[in-house]
Each structure stands twice: as structure tokens, then as C-alpha cells.
Structure 1
């Protein structure tokens, strides 16, 4: 397959242009080689080798991960809730078929089980082949993989006694199979699937530079369900505008989401390239204009 057969690639450059989600701007990466391109049952999947960011995973035209900067996202979406919890044992990951979140979760000795729910098995297979540094935890004894729709999985959990200490929603953007992950009903299902001291974190799709109104609405929706809701962010060069927002929620009003209540062990710390306890707290500090608008939306 040549590059010219792929609509996202022209003249040797991958172009991420999505007028609905990211109007008026785009991102380009130089392509060295197309490694895979096809449509699964659920989405268009592209993997290519870039000139400067290593192998790149693209779903429906939007970059999901690159070998060079993926750790900035994987570490923050994983370790913020895990270190804000005093003793996380059972962890659920919804989405995240590339395996990056699982890799981070199993670094915690206190975690006894990590369940990944992924609807598209093709993503897992491609990650194992082309992103082995991310997919390295699939064989870990703590990990179980469920190939099904995350929304339905949570509906089924609600009918059982199974509950989780941490739930990480590592979905793609709110289109196609991931669209349901950004609705109030989803937050309600997350709430019912958590233990009383449980914490959930979800990527917010947008960030403060792109669509703060959307973030305000998302925080308001989550706040109608959870006792505590906070917004933080991480920096990832290959995400549109270089930043990605995260929504963090807790069932208990006294949970301190903004600070690590456990310190990384020496072994855990040696395996981290982005997260530290200072970064944990700093990620919740927003620029004045964003803080004011988000605060007003929560307390009109």
C-alpha cells in the first residue's frame, strides 16, 4: 500500500485536520513508512513510522499515540488516580487497547488486578506488533482482557457485586464507538461501579485552549453525579494544541484528588518519565482565565 492511497497522507506528510473537533487548525507529521492501514469493524486504523516521533497510531484520522511522547499521557491518566487512592487493588481500564495505561497500572505493587475492556481487538493486535513498548503488560499476571463494549460492560457490572477502586477511561475522541463515553449516563455507570472510596479519571477529549465551554459542560455533567470533580491536564506535543484535559472524579467528598496520598516507591519512581508528586499537584493549577470560567460554571 502506498501513502497516496490514504486520505490522511499527502506528499509524504500525515495531516490531522478535523473541522468538527478542532476547527481552524491541524497537525502534520512527516511519514517515513506506512506500516498498516485498514478499517476494522469499528474504525479506520492507521499505523505509520514517522520521521521524528517513532511509530504512530491513528484512529479515524486522529493521533492516539506516538512512541516519542505517549508516556506523558499514559503516566498522568494512570498515576493521578492511583496515587490519590490510599490502597488501590482492583483497577478497571475502559478503552486503552494500545496497552499504555495497563503498563502504568501494573507498576503499582498494591494493585492486585487490572481489567482492560476494549471493543476493538485489532487495536490490541497492532499495538503488540508496532507499539511493543506500550503493549508490554498484556502478559502480566494481574491483567485480564475483556473484548466488548465498555458501556455494556459497566451496565453488566451494575447488576453484580463487582466494584473497582480505580476506573480509567482511556477512550478515543467522542465520535464513533467512543461517543457514549462523554454522556451523563456513562458517569452514572462509573459511579455505580466504584467502591465508596473509588476514583475515576477520563480523558476529556478537549483542552482549555480548544473548547473550554465543552469542558465546563463535561465537568457540570460529572458534578451532577460525583461528590467531587476536578479538571487537570498533561502536555503531549502530538495532541492538538499540545495539551490534553483529564476529568477526575471521586465518590467521597473528602478524597484529596489534587495531591498524592501515597509516594512512589524507589522502584516505581525509576520507571516514570513524566509523573512525579509535584507534577500531580501542578496539573490542577489552571491559568487565571480558565480557572475563573470553570469555577463560574460549577458555581453559577
Structure 2
């Protein structure tokens, strides 16, 4: 009887231990979906996790939300096959393409999803796009995952597009090429990836300046300015410190309530009225362009609060930590 009792207790203990390990792994530990999708970033409607995997730089989740695919990186939404993604891509690409003297050679840093590349391919004068992404798996998704390829219209496989797997700064520092338009569309630095600050620094902007053709421009993504206005103004102040002429612009998404900020930077003086669209796009009409180039009062009120980001400080990371607790 004692042997049977101890056998039963032993089996129960093993079961409880395995259950605890399972729940720890899948709810709190490394196997938890929360390590791939932050609680605050979960879709509000029914969703299905199609795939999760680790790459050399990040944790990726492919999530089906209705008819859309959302791509998560380290718990945060990176991009998706969504209408607001089309708006975002049109703004970050067509404003600098409209402002540049020429639009023949384009460099896109952070082009793994292929959506911004798709927009740049609208220009008949275009000769070459270099799309740089540090993550080979992310670039491969943009090239081969059918639902993303359908959304980006096969842009990363286009004959005018060359894809490069490398850190964006390292690629620019090694390159002897110059470009008409350079688009930097990368996430903000976080404690998980503080090194991203190197792609927003004064030193890197000097490198980009050396790689612009006469009349060339930069377009820099500045995150969600309704949450972090100082983030955008710090990027602009850094660009000005580098000697660029700058024009801030933004796009408020009626669907998500997010106001995305950007900075246009040029080596030559440039006014908003000088910017005229060269192609027709579904979202960014001439009327919408004027709205994009007019900064709302709540942002202009914070204009003088930016600081210069260098390789030696953590200006942008500090802003992100303070405003989002990331």
C-alpha cells in the first residue's frame, strides 16, 4: 500500500513539474508568444499566429489578422499588408523623390519588406535601387513569402533592385557609390537594440552627406511623433548640426490615430513650395502633400527641445525609454 501511494505521489509530482515547465515556457518564458507579440501590440480583433522564428538579430512573428498579414519584430509591429502601410510608404518615398533634383539612383536602408522599394519603382527615370537590410531572413520574407510579395508587387525581385544583407552604416561606409535619394526607414533604438542609435548619429549623417549627389536628399523616419515629438526634433537638430537644410513632414493616420514623423534633408536650400509630385499615387495627392508638409501646432511647440545624437551618447534611446518604457 505504501509503495502504491508513493508511486502515485511520484507520478503526480512529475506531472505537476512538467505542467509548470510547460506553462512557464509558453506563458512567461522564451517559448511564450508574448516574447514575439507584446501585450500592448496584440491585435484587437481575432488573429492567428502563422509562424514564429528567431533570426540572428530579432524574433519574428507572422500574424494573420482578417485578410492582412502583420509582421512583428521583437514583440513590436514592424509592418504589414495594411492600408496605412501604403500611406506610410508613399509619404516616406515620394516626398524625397519629389524634392530631389534627380531620381535615378536610390538607396533604401531598412528595405526588407519591399514596400518602400515598390513605391520607388514607380519612377520611369529610375536606374537602380539598393535595398539594404541587416536581416537575411527578413529580406527573404519580402522576396519569397507569397502574401508579402503580392503586397509589394515583387519589388525586391525587380531587375532594377539589388538587395544587400548588411548593417546599413557599414554598407555606406564601405561604398564608393553616390545616390540621388537615400531613405532611412529603421526602428528607433531600444534597450534590446541600442546600436540602432548609430544609424541616427551625427557621424553617420556626415557619411550619408558624402554619398549624396548634388541636389540629392535624405528622408529619415522619425517614429510616432504624437508620442515622442522630441525624437523627431532631435533627429532634425542632428541633421542641421551636420550642415543639412531640413524640412519636417508628417502623416496622421485616420485609421490608427498615429502621427508618423519624418525629416527631409538636403545639401541645398529647399522650401516646401519647391516640392512637387512627379508621379500619381493613390494616397499622396497634391492636396495631401500640402497637409503632410504643414506641421501641427502640438509638434511645432516642441521644436526647440531636440538634442544632437552622436556615437558617444544615447539621446534617442533615452527619449524612447522615457516615453515608452521599452
The alignment's TM-score, normalised by the length of structure 1, stands at 0.82
Unaligned 5+ runs, structure 1: 18-25
Q: 1:87 aligns with which of 64, 88, 102?
A: 102
Residue 288 of structure 1 deviates from its aligned partner by: 2.0
1:86-137 per-position Cα deviation (integer Å, ceiling 9, x unaligned): 3211100111200001100011111111111111011122233141212611
In 1, Cα distance between equivalents of 2:78 and 2:136 = 16
In 2, Cα distance between equivalents of 1:109 and 1:70 = 23
Q: 1:65 aligns with which of 76, 79, 83?
A: 79
Residue 109 (structure 1) aligns with: 124
Residue 236 of structure 1 deviates from its aligned partner by: 4.0
Residue 290 (structure 1) aligns with: 299
Residue 243 (structure 2) aligns with: 226
Residue 156 (structure 2) aligns with: 138
The alignment's TM-score, normalised by the length of structure 2, stands at 0.76
Count residues with an aligned counterpart.
272
Residue 273 (structure 1) aligns with: 282
In 1, Cα distance between equivalents of 2:255 and 2:64 = 14
In 2, Cα distance between equivalents of 1:164 and 1:200 = 10
Q: 1:187 aligns with which of 205, 221, 233?
A: 205
In 1, Cα distance between equivalents of 2:236 and 2:39 = 27
**Greater helix content:** 2
In 2, Cα distance between equivalents of 1:191 and 1:226 = 9
The structure having more radius of gyration, on CA atoms, is 2
SS in 1 for 2:92: helix
Q: 2:139 aligns with which of 108, 114, 124?
A: 124
Q: 1:153 aligns with which of 171, 196, 217?
A: 171
SS in 1 for 2:204: helix
Task: Identify if the C-alpha distance between structure 1 residues 139 and 289 changes in structure 2 by more than 3 Å, giving closer, same or farther.
Answer: closer
Confirm or deny: 8 A CA contact 2:107 2:182 kept in the other structure: yes
**Greater strand content:** 1
Residue 93 (structure 2) aligns with: 78
Confirm or deny: 8 A CA contact 1:84 1:258 kept in the other structure: no
In 1, Cα distance between equivalents of 2:39 and 2:261 = 19
Confirm or deny: 8 A CA contact 1:216 1:294 kept in the other structure: yes
Task: Identify if the C-alpha distance between structure 1 residues 296 and 121 changes in structure 2 by more than 3 Å, giving closer, same or farther.
Answer: closer
Q: 2:230 aligns with which of 213, 236, 249?
A: 213
Residue 21 (structure 1) aligns with: none
Unaligned 5+ runs, structure 2: 1-25, 308-326
In 1, Cα distance between equivalents of 2:197 and 2:301 = 28
Residue 6 (structure 1) aligns with: 33
RMSD over aligned CA atoms reads 2.5
Superposition pairs for residues 12-51 of structure 1, below 5 Å?
Answer: 15=38, 17=40, 28-51=43-66
Confirm or deny: 8 A CA contact 1:63 1:238 kept in the other structure: no
Residue 22 (structure 1) aligns with: none
Residue 266 (structure 2) aligns with: 250
Residue 56 (structure 1) aligns with: 70
Confirm or deny: 8 A CA contact 1:38 1:44 kept in the other structure: yes
Confirm or deny: 8 A CA contact 2:130 2:164 kept in the other structure: yes
**Bigger mean CA offset, 120-129 vs 243-252:** 120-129
In 2, Cα distance between equivalents of 1:94 and 1:55 = 22
SS in 1 for 2:45: strand
